[in-house]
Amino acid sequence: MAVVTFRQVTPSGTLTARRGVGAGVDTRFLLCAVYFGSEAFLPLGLTQLRDVNAAEAGLGLSAGALAWVLGSILQARRDGDSGHKGRNTGSGRVGGVVAGWALLLAGLAVMASGILVNEIPPWTAIVGWALGGIGMGIAFNAATTDTMEKAVRPGEASAALQLAQTLATALVSGLGGAALAQGQTRPALLATFALTGALGVAGMLLAPRLRTT
């Protein structure tokens, strides 16, 4: 029932990752699934597995948020420069999404290592999530701008993007929480980060479908 309903309230082609707006909504879903689905367990992992206090663990969230802003600024400037120079901004945005995904996945790997590997200093997780935040800012900005420019009905596209973001965050965070409830913290977080990493790879492969030609 949820799948049928989701199909009715999203642009045509969303469930099949159709080129253009459909792929843009899917990209938003995957970006938020990876970013928020991973970030939700950053403080928990640092406090329970690495004996970091809550205040220090919270720095990871702050680092990710501030780095997201920086990534958005970098992509906005890159987008503006491409427009002024007469370049294909659509192609440049797809490149931005791919680059953002690469940084986000690298940041996720570093963050997960800082939480799960005792031989690695725990502050590495904070640095890793700052890197992931930059990637999220770049990819989120580029994908959203490109999708909205292609939308024939901007209101519908905007609502679908927001729905995809909320659904992805709830779904992946819920799956991670369920894994924690069923077992020990380390294996549950390993499974969660493996899932978000796999979704990130899928998102990178999907990026070229943002192009309509």
Instruction: Look at the alpha carbons of 125, 131, 137, 143 in this order and tell me if their dihedral is positive or negative.
Output: negative
The hierarchical CATH code for the domain 40-206 is 1.20.1250
Q: Which residue has the tokens 């199909």?
A: 7
pTM: 0.92
Render 88-138 in DSSP notation, one character per residue. -HHHHHHHHHHHHHHHHHHHHHHHHHHHH-TTS-THHHHHHHHHHHHHHHH
Every domain of the chain and the residues it spans:
40-206
Q: For the beta carbon of residue 79, count every other beta carbon within 10 angstroms.
A: 19
Q: pLDDT truncated to tens, each residue of the chain (213 aa)? A: 877 888 888 888 898 999 999 999 999 999 999 999 999 999 999 999 999 999 999 999 999 999 999 999 999 998 877 655 655 566 679 999 999 999 999 999 999 999 999 999 999 999 999 999 999 999 999 999 999 999 989 999 999 999 999 999 999 999 999 999 998 999 999 999 999 999 999 999 999 999 877
